[in-house]
Amino acid sequence: MNYFPCFINLKNKKVLFIGAGKIAVRKIFFLLNMTSNIMVVSRNISSDLIEVYKKKKLIG
């Protein structure tokens, strides 16, 4: 597999996550340092993500 590094300015960009498994949650918390315009679509949401949502840091 070949890898291509990609740098994206996330300011004022919308981010969509499908699923909220362990890896996705880790990436969501990392991305919250760059943008709060994140929407998560999943059947199961961890309690950590629910708390972040309540603090208005995720789009509902």
Domain ranges of the chain: 35-60
| Residue 38 pLDDT exceeds 80 | yes
pTM for this model (two decimals)? 0.75
Mean pLDDT, all residues of the chain: 86
| Residue 60 pLDDT exceeds 70 | no
Maximum CA pair distance of the chain? Answer: 39
Separation between Cα atoms, residue 52 and residue 33, nearest integer Å: 12
Mean pLDDT across the stretch 38-53? 87
Separation between Cα atoms, residue 7 and residue 53, nearest integer Å: 26
- For the chain, how big is the Rg over CA atoms in Å? 12
| Residue 47 pLDDT exceeds 80 | yes
3-state secondary structure of 48: helix
Mean pLDDT across the stretch 43-48? 87
Question: Per-residue confidence at 18, pLDDT binned at 50, 70, 90?
Answer: very high
Separation between Cα atoms, residue 54 and residue 5, nearest integer Å: 33
